[in-house]
Amino acid sequence: MNKISLTGVKPTGTPHIGNYFGAIKPAIEMSNNPELDSFYFIADYHALNFIKKKEELVQFTKEIACTWLACGLDPNKIVFYKQSQVPEVTELNWLLCNVTSKGLMNRAHAYKALVEKSLEAGDDPDALVNMGLYNYPILMAADILLFNTKFVPVGADQKQHVEMARDIAKAFNKRYGNTFVIPTEIIQESVATITGIDGRKMSKSYGNQIPLFCTEQELKKLISGIKTDSSLPTEPKSTDCAVFSLYKLFANKEELEAMAERFAKGISWADAKAELYSVANKYLTPMREKYNYYMTHYDEVEKMLDAGATKARAIAKETLARARAVIGLD
Ligand code: ADP
Ligand code: TRP
Protein backbone atom coordinates (compact mmCIF):
# COMPACT_ATOMS: atom_id res chain seq x y z
CA MET A 1 0.00 0.00 0.00
CA ASN A 2 1.20 3.52 -0.81
CA LYS A 3 2.07 5.96 1.95
CA ILE A 4 -0.46 8.74 2.55
CA SER A 5 0.32 12.44 2.12
CA LEU A 6 -2.28 14.88 3.43
CA THR A 7 -2.64 18.61 3.82
CA GLY A 8 -5.33 21.21 4.45
CA VAL A 9 -5.77 24.89 3.77
CA LYS A 10 -8.05 27.10 5.85
CA PRO A 11 -10.55 29.17 3.89
CA THR A 12 -9.74 32.31 5.83
CA GLY A 13 -8.86 34.66 3.02
CA THR A 14 -8.17 35.00 -0.65
CA PRO A 15 -5.19 32.75 -1.45
CA HIS A 16 -1.93 34.64 -1.89
CA ILE A 17 1.47 33.96 -3.37
CA GLY A 18 2.84 32.87 0.03
CA ASN A 19 0.14 30.22 0.34
CA TYR A 20 0.88 29.06 -3.18
CA PHE A 21 4.65 28.68 -2.94
CA GLY A 22 4.69 27.71 0.72
CA ALA A 23 1.88 25.18 0.72
CA ILE A 24 -0.14 24.59 -2.44
CA LYS A 25 2.64 24.14 -5.01
CA PRO A 26 4.77 21.74 -2.94
CA ALA A 27 1.64 19.79 -2.05
CA ILE A 28 0.60 19.47 -5.68
CA GLU A 29 4.10 18.40 -6.67
CA MET A 30 3.99 15.73 -4.01
CA SER A 31 0.62 14.53 -5.32
CA ASN A 32 2.35 13.61 -8.59
CA ASN A 33 4.58 11.12 -6.77
CA PRO A 34 3.24 7.69 -7.78
CA GLU A 35 4.43 6.21 -4.50
CA LEU A 36 2.06 8.39 -2.49
CA ASP A 37 -1.71 8.58 -2.13
CA SER A 38 -2.65 12.20 -1.52
CA PHE A 39 -5.48 13.78 0.42
CA TYR A 40 -6.08 17.52 0.15
CA PHE A 41 -8.87 19.25 1.92
CA ILE A 42 -10.35 22.61 2.77
CA ALA A 43 -10.06 23.06 6.52
CA ASP A 44 -13.37 24.88 6.99
CA TYR A 45 -13.81 23.77 10.63
CA HIS A 46 -10.44 25.30 11.41
CA ALA A 47 -11.55 28.52 9.74
CA LEU A 48 -14.46 29.06 12.14
CA ASN A 49 -12.12 30.66 14.60
CA PHE A 50 -11.22 33.38 12.19
CA ILE A 51 -14.24 33.79 9.92
CA LYS A 52 -17.45 34.71 11.59
CA LYS A 53 -19.57 35.77 8.62
CA LYS A 54 -21.39 33.12 6.63
CA GLU A 55 -20.87 34.94 3.30
CA GLU A 56 -17.12 35.08 3.90
CA LEU A 57 -16.86 31.42 4.79
CA VAL A 58 -18.75 30.47 1.64
CA GLN A 59 -16.73 32.83 -0.58
CA PHE A 60 -13.30 31.85 0.77
CA THR A 61 -14.16 28.15 0.58
CA LYS A 62 -15.09 28.62 -3.06
CA GLU A 63 -11.90 30.56 -3.76
CA ILE A 64 -9.71 27.94 -2.12
CA ALA A 65 -11.37 25.05 -3.96
CA CYS A 66 -11.02 26.81 -7.33
CA THR A 67 -7.43 27.80 -6.51
CA TRP A 68 -6.31 24.24 -5.91
CA LEU A 69 -7.91 23.06 -9.11
CA ALA A 70 -6.41 25.98 -11.05
CA CYS A 71 -2.99 25.18 -9.59
CA GLY A 72 -3.11 21.70 -11.06
CA LEU A 73 -4.70 19.50 -8.45
CA ASP A 74 -6.26 16.52 -10.22
CA PRO A 75 -9.31 15.29 -8.26
CA ASN A 76 -9.19 11.97 -10.12
CA LYS A 77 -5.73 11.26 -8.77
CA ILE A 78 -6.10 12.58 -5.25
CA VAL A 79 -8.82 12.74 -2.62
CA PHE A 80 -10.14 16.32 -2.53
CA TYR A 81 -12.84 17.31 -0.02
CA LYS A 82 -14.10 19.76 2.54
CA GLN A 83 -13.27 18.90 6.15
CA SER A 84 -16.87 19.58 7.24
CA GLN A 85 -18.09 16.92 4.81
CA VAL A 86 -16.31 14.29 6.91
CA PRO A 87 -18.03 14.21 10.33
CA GLU A 88 -15.70 11.42 11.47
CA VAL A 89 -13.10 14.17 11.96
CA THR A 90 -15.05 15.64 14.86
CA GLU A 91 -15.64 12.28 16.47
CA LEU A 92 -11.96 11.43 16.34
CA ASN A 93 -11.23 14.91 17.68
CA TRP A 94 -13.11 14.01 20.84
CA LEU A 95 -11.34 10.69 21.24
CA LEU A 96 -7.99 12.45 20.86
CA CYS A 97 -8.90 15.11 23.44
CA ASN A 98 -8.75 12.39 26.04
CA VAL A 99 -5.14 11.47 25.39
CA THR A 100 -3.94 15.06 25.00
CA SER A 101 -2.54 16.89 27.99
CA LYS A 102 -3.58 20.47 28.58
CA GLY A 103 0.12 21.27 28.97
CA LEU A 104 0.74 20.30 25.36
CA MET A 105 -1.92 22.74 24.17
CA ASN A 106 -0.54 25.45 26.46
CA ARG A 107 2.66 25.32 24.42
CA ALA A 108 0.99 26.03 21.05
CA HIS A 109 2.50 29.14 19.44
CA ALA A 110 -0.86 30.55 18.32
CA TYR A 111 -2.34 30.21 21.82
CA LYS A 112 0.73 31.65 23.50
CA ALA A 113 0.73 34.64 21.17
CA LEU A 114 -2.85 35.51 22.16
CA VAL A 115 -2.10 35.10 25.85
CA GLU A 116 0.87 37.41 25.53
CA LYS A 117 -1.22 39.99 23.70
CA SER A 118 -3.81 40.02 26.49
CA LEU A 119 -1.18 40.20 29.21
CA GLU A 120 0.47 43.15 27.51
CA ALA A 121 -2.91 44.89 27.40
CA GLY A 122 -3.38 44.14 31.11
CA ASP A 123 -6.33 41.82 30.40
CA ASP A 124 -7.13 38.32 31.57
CA PRO A 125 -4.62 35.98 29.84
CA ASP A 126 -7.41 34.01 28.17
CA ALA A 127 -9.54 36.99 27.18
CA LEU A 128 -8.98 36.35 23.47
CA VAL A 129 -9.00 32.56 23.56
CA ASN A 130 -11.99 30.39 22.71
CA MET A 131 -11.95 26.61 22.86
CA GLY A 132 -11.83 26.31 19.06
CA LEU A 133 -8.50 28.10 19.11
CA TYR A 134 -7.26 26.21 22.14
CA ASN A 135 -8.16 22.81 20.71
CA TYR A 136 -7.08 23.72 17.19
CA PRO A 137 -4.04 21.38 17.22
CA ILE A 138 -6.19 18.43 18.34
CA LEU A 139 -8.63 18.92 15.47
CA MET A 140 -5.65 19.10 13.14
CA ALA A 141 -4.31 15.86 14.62
CA ALA A 142 -7.70 14.28 13.89
CA ASP A 143 -7.51 15.44 10.24
CA ILE A 144 -4.11 13.84 9.93
CA LEU A 145 -4.51 10.62 11.92
CA LEU A 146 -7.91 9.74 10.46
CA PHE A 147 -6.34 8.97 7.09
CA ASN A 148 -3.25 7.06 8.27
CA THR A 149 -1.16 9.97 7.06
CA LYS A 150 2.61 9.53 6.85
CA PHE A 151 3.56 12.89 5.31
CA VAL A 152 2.11 16.34 5.92
CA PRO A 153 3.38 18.97 3.48
CA VAL A 154 3.02 22.37 5.18
CA GLY A 155 4.63 25.78 5.52
CA ALA A 156 7.21 26.24 8.28
CA ASP A 157 4.66 27.90 10.58
CA GLN A 158 2.68 24.65 10.79
CA LYS A 159 5.61 22.53 11.93
CA GLN A 160 4.60 22.67 15.59
CA HIS A 161 1.07 21.51 14.79
CA VAL A 162 2.35 18.41 13.02
CA GLU A 163 4.73 17.73 15.90
CA MET A 164 1.73 17.89 18.22
CA ALA A 165 -0.22 15.49 16.00
CA ARG A 166 2.74 13.16 16.32
CA ASP A 167 2.76 13.49 20.13
CA ILE A 168 -0.99 12.87 20.26
CA ALA A 169 -0.71 9.78 18.02
CA LYS A 170 2.06 8.42 20.24
CA ALA A 171 0.05 9.07 23.41
CA PHE A 172 -2.95 7.24 21.94
CA ASN A 173 -0.83 4.33 20.71
CA LYS A 174 0.85 4.07 24.10
CA ARG A 175 -2.44 3.83 25.93
CA TYR A 176 -4.39 1.63 23.51
CA GLY A 177 -1.79 -0.14 21.37
CA ASN A 178 -0.64 0.64 17.86
CA THR A 179 -3.57 2.33 16.16
CA PHE A 180 -2.32 5.41 14.32
CA VAL A 181 0.46 5.97 11.82
CA ILE A 182 3.00 8.50 13.15
CA PRO A 183 3.04 11.51 10.79
CA THR A 184 6.00 13.64 9.67
CA GLU A 185 5.91 17.21 8.37
CA ILE A 186 7.42 17.94 4.97
CA ILE A 187 8.69 21.50 4.75
CA GLN A 188 10.24 22.72 1.56
CA GLU A 189 13.02 24.79 3.06
CA SER A 190 13.96 26.70 -0.09
CA VAL A 191 10.54 28.34 -0.27
CA ALA A 192 9.79 28.16 3.43
CA THR A 193 8.94 31.83 3.92
CA ILE A 194 7.71 34.01 1.09
CA THR A 195 8.28 37.73 1.46
CA GLY A 196 5.40 40.19 1.30
CA ILE A 197 5.37 43.63 -0.29
CA ASP A 198 6.68 45.24 2.89
CA GLY A 199 9.62 42.83 3.22
CA ARG A 200 8.08 40.88 6.12
CA LYS A 201 6.64 37.36 5.78
CA MET A 202 3.73 37.50 3.36
CA SER A 203 0.60 37.06 5.44
CA LYS A 204 -2.93 38.31 5.43
CA SER A 205 -2.43 39.22 9.08
CA TYR A 206 0.08 41.85 7.94
CA GLY A 207 -1.97 42.95 4.93
CA ASN A 208 1.17 42.67 2.79
CA GLN A 209 0.01 39.91 0.47
CA ILE A 210 -0.26 39.60 -3.29
CA PRO A 211 -3.42 37.64 -4.10
CA LEU A 212 -2.57 34.73 -6.37
CA PHE A 213 -5.30 35.46 -8.89
CA CYS A 214 -5.77 39.19 -8.74
CA THR A 215 -6.19 40.94 -12.09
CA GLU A 216 -3.16 41.97 -14.13
CA GLN A 217 -3.75 45.61 -13.16
CA GLU A 218 -3.86 44.77 -9.46
CA LEU A 219 -0.74 42.63 -9.76
CA LYS A 220 1.13 45.48 -11.42
CA LYS A 221 -0.05 47.94 -8.77
CA LEU A 222 0.90 45.69 -5.85
CA ILE A 223 4.34 44.99 -7.31
CA SER A 224 4.97 48.67 -7.88
CA GLY A 225 4.19 49.24 -4.19
CA ILE A 226 6.86 46.82 -2.92
CA LYS A 227 9.02 48.49 -0.30
CA THR A 228 12.56 49.19 -1.48
CA ASP A 229 15.58 51.07 -0.20
CA SER A 230 16.54 54.52 -1.39
CA SER A 231 19.57 53.48 -3.45
CA LEU A 232 20.03 55.26 -6.77
CA PRO A 233 19.18 53.47 -10.06
CA THR A 234 22.85 53.13 -10.95
CA GLU A 235 23.89 51.69 -7.60
CA PRO A 236 24.47 47.93 -7.17
CA LYS A 237 21.68 46.32 -5.22
CA SER A 238 21.61 43.48 -2.77
CA THR A 239 19.56 40.48 -3.90
CA ASP A 240 18.46 40.16 -0.30
CA CYS A 241 15.29 42.18 -0.84
CA ALA A 242 11.58 41.61 -1.46
CA VAL A 243 11.74 42.31 -5.21
CA PHE A 244 14.50 39.80 -5.86
CA SER A 245 13.17 37.11 -3.55
CA LEU A 246 9.79 37.28 -5.31
CA TYR A 247 11.46 37.33 -8.73
CA LYS A 248 13.27 34.13 -7.79
CA LEU A 249 9.96 32.33 -7.37
CA PHE A 250 8.70 33.01 -10.88
CA ALA A 251 11.82 33.18 -13.01
CA ASN A 252 13.61 30.38 -14.83
CA LYS A 253 17.34 29.80 -14.39
CA GLU A 254 18.46 32.09 -17.22
CA GLU A 255 16.15 34.91 -16.18
CA LEU A 256 17.38 34.61 -12.63
CA GLU A 257 21.05 34.74 -13.60
CA ALA A 258 20.46 37.74 -15.83
CA MET A 259 18.58 39.54 -13.07
CA ALA A 260 21.28 38.79 -10.48
CA GLU A 261 23.79 40.36 -12.87
CA ARG A 262 21.64 43.46 -13.32
CA PHE A 263 21.30 43.77 -9.55
CA ALA A 264 25.08 43.57 -9.19
CA LYS A 265 25.64 46.22 -11.85
CA GLY A 266 22.84 48.52 -10.76
CA ILE A 267 19.22 48.55 -11.86
CA SER A 268 16.44 51.00 -11.08
CA TRP A 269 13.75 49.73 -8.78
CA ALA A 270 11.16 50.65 -11.42
CA ASP A 271 12.88 48.38 -13.96
CA ALA A 272 13.34 45.59 -11.41
CA LYS A 273 9.64 45.76 -10.56
CA ALA A 274 8.64 45.80 -14.21
CA GLU A 275 10.69 42.63 -14.74
CA LEU A 276 9.11 41.06 -11.68
CA TYR A 277 5.64 41.87 -12.99
CA SER A 278 6.52 40.38 -16.37
CA VAL A 279 7.73 36.99 -15.02
CA ALA A 280 4.97 36.80 -12.40
CA ASN A 281 2.22 37.56 -14.87
CA LYS A 282 3.57 35.07 -17.41
CA TYR A 283 3.65 32.40 -14.72
CA LEU A 284 0.21 33.18 -13.29
CA THR A 285 -1.86 33.84 -16.43
CA PRO A 286 -2.70 30.24 -17.45
CA MET A 287 -3.63 29.39 -13.86
CA ARG A 288 -5.71 32.56 -13.51
CA GLU A 289 -7.72 31.58 -16.60
CA LYS A 290 -8.50 28.18 -15.11
CA TYR A 291 -9.39 29.81 -11.79
CA ASN A 292 -11.86 32.16 -13.43
CA TYR A 293 -13.45 29.20 -15.23
CA TYR A 294 -14.01 27.25 -12.01
CA MET A 295 -15.29 30.30 -10.15
CA THR A 296 -17.99 30.70 -12.81
CA HIS A 297 -18.74 26.94 -13.02
CA TYR A 298 -18.73 26.18 -9.32
CA ASP A 299 -21.35 23.41 -9.59
CA GLU A 300 -18.67 21.32 -11.32
CA VAL A 301 -16.34 21.93 -8.38
CA GLU A 302 -18.99 20.97 -5.85
CA LYS A 303 -19.48 17.64 -7.60
CA MET A 304 -15.76 16.99 -7.35
CA LEU A 305 -15.78 17.81 -3.63
CA ASP A 306 -18.77 15.52 -3.02
CA ALA A 307 -17.04 12.64 -4.80
CA GLY A 308 -13.88 13.31 -2.77
CA ALA A 309 -15.79 13.35 0.50
CA THR A 310 -17.36 9.97 -0.31
CA LYS A 311 -13.91 8.46 -0.87
CA ALA A 312 -12.52 10.14 2.25
CA ARG A 313 -15.36 8.96 4.47
CA ALA A 314 -14.87 5.33 3.48
CA ILE A 315 -11.34 5.46 4.91
CA ALA A 316 -12.29 7.70 7.82
CA LYS A 317 -14.96 5.24 8.95
CA GLU A 318 -12.47 2.38 8.95
CA THR A 319 -9.92 4.28 11.06
CA LEU A 320 -12.56 5.55 13.45
CA ALA A 321 -13.96 2.04 13.91
CA ARG A 322 -10.46 0.82 14.73
CA ALA A 323 -9.97 3.61 17.31
CA ARG A 324 -13.39 3.03 18.89
CA ALA A 325 -12.70 -0.70 19.11
CA VAL A 326 -9.35 -0.38 20.89
CA ILE A 327 -10.86 2.11 23.35
CA GLY A 328 -13.72 -0.26 24.12
CA LEU A 329 -16.55 1.78 22.67
CA ASP A 330 -17.94 -0.99 20.44
P1 ADP B 1 -1.65 33.74 6.30
O2 ADP B 1 -0.33 33.90 7.02
O3 ADP B 1 -1.76 34.65 5.14
O4 ADP B 1 -2.82 33.86 7.24
P5 ADP B 1 -2.26 30.96 6.38
O6 ADP B 1 -1.86 30.93 7.81
O7 ADP B 1 -3.69 30.81 6.03
O8 ADP B 1 -1.67 32.29 5.73
O9 ADP B 1 -1.42 29.85 5.63
C10 ADP B 1 -1.89 28.84 4.79
C11 ADP B 1 -0.72 27.98 4.33
O12 ADP B 1 0.17 28.76 3.55
C13 ADP B 1 0.09 27.42 5.48
O14 ADP B 1 0.52 26.09 5.17
C15 ADP B 1 1.26 28.35 5.59
O16 ADP B 1 2.39 27.73 6.10
C17 ADP B 1 1.46 28.75 4.14
N18 ADP B 1 1.99 30.12 4.08
C19 ADP B 1 1.33 31.25 4.39
N20 ADP B 1 2.10 32.33 4.23
C21 ADP B 1 3.30 31.87 3.81
C22 ADP B 1 4.53 32.50 3.47
N23 ADP B 1 4.69 33.82 3.51
N24 ADP B 1 5.55 31.72 3.08
C25 ADP B 1 5.39 30.39 3.02
N26 ADP B 1 4.27 29.74 3.32
C27 ADP B 1 3.22 30.45 3.71
N1 TRP C 1 -3.70 24.48 10.37
C2 TRP C 1 -3.44 24.54 8.96
C3 TRP C 1 -3.22 26.00 8.56
O4 TRP C 1 -3.34 26.86 9.34
C5 TRP C 1 -4.56 23.96 8.14
C6 TRP C 1 -4.79 22.51 8.46
C7 TRP C 1 -5.84 22.00 9.14
C8 TRP C 1 -3.94 21.42 8.11
N9 TRP C 1 -5.73 20.65 9.22
C10 TRP C 1 -4.59 20.25 8.63
C11 TRP C 1 -2.74 21.31 7.43
C12 TRP C 1 -4.00 18.98 8.49
C13 TRP C 1 -2.16 20.04 7.30
C14 TRP C 1 -2.81 18.89 7.82
O15 TRP C 1 -2.94 26.26 7.42
Query: Rounded mean pLDDT of the chain?
Result: 95
Locate the domains of the chain by residue range. Answer: 3-193+298-327, 216-292
Q: What percent of the chain has pLDDT over 90?
A: 89
Query: Is the CB–ligand 1 distance for residue 12 below 6 Å?
Result: yes
Higher pLDDT, 204 or 156: 204
Contact 71, 283 (CB under 8 A): no
**Measuring from atom 16 of ligand 1, which residue has the nearest CA?**
155
> Residue 187: which pLDDT band, with cuts at 50, 70 and 90?
confident
Query: Is the CB–ligand 2 distance for residue 140 below 6 Å?
Result: yes
State which fold the 3-193+298-327 domain adopts.
Answer: Rossmann fold (3.40.50)
The residue annotated as part of the active site, out of 62, 204, 227, 311, is 204
Residue 1 pLDDT: 78
Looking at domain 216-292, its CATH superfamily turns out to be Tyrosyl-Transfer RNA Synthetase (1.10.240.10)
Question: What count of residues does the chain have?
Answer: 330
Q: Kindly report, residue by residue over 189-236, the tens digit of the pLDDT.
A: 666 689 999 999 999 999 999 999 999 999 999 999 999 998 999 999
CA 70 to mean position of chain CA atoms: 16
Q: How far is the CA of 64 from the centre of ligand 1 (A)?
A: 13
Active site residue 117: yes
Residue 190 pLDDT: 64
What distance in Å separates the CA atoms of residue 289 and residue 27, rounded to the nearest whole number?
21
What distance in Å separates the CA atoms of residue 14 and residue 6, rounded to the nearest whole number?
21
Residue 23 pLDDT: 80
Closest CA to 63 of 28, 13, 27: 13
Average pLDDT over residues 287-297: 98
Query: Is the CB–ligand 2 distance for residue 164 below 6 Å?
Result: no
Query: Is the CB–ligand 1 distance for residue 18 below 6 Å?
Result: yes
Asked whether the predicted pLDDT for residue 255 surpasses 80, the reply is yes
Q: Euclidean distance between the first and final Cα of the chain, in Å?
A: 27
Contact 284, 219 (CB under 8 A): yes
Q: Kindly report, residue by residue over 113-141, the tens digit of the pLDDT.
A: 999 999 999 999 999 999 999 999 999 99
Residue 155 pLDDT: 78
Query: Which value, in Å, is the radius of gyration of the alpha carbons in the chain?
Result: 21
Higher pLDDT, 191 or 275: 275
Angle at 309 between CA 167 and CA 67, to 5 degrees: 90
The residues with which 8 forms a beta bridge, in sequence order, are 41
Q: Do domains 3-193+298-327 and 216-292 have the same CATH topology?
A: no
Residue 191 pLDDT: 62
Q: How far is the CA of 315 from the centre of ligand 1 (A)?
A: 28
Which ligand 1 atom lies nearest to the CA of residue 155?
16
Asked whether the predicted pLDDT for residue 188 surpasses 80, the reply is no
Q: Kindly report, residue by residue over 73-90, the tens digit of the pLDDT.
A: 999 999 999 999 999 999
**Measuring from atom 7 of ligand 1, which residue has the nearest CA?**
10
pTM summary value = 0.91
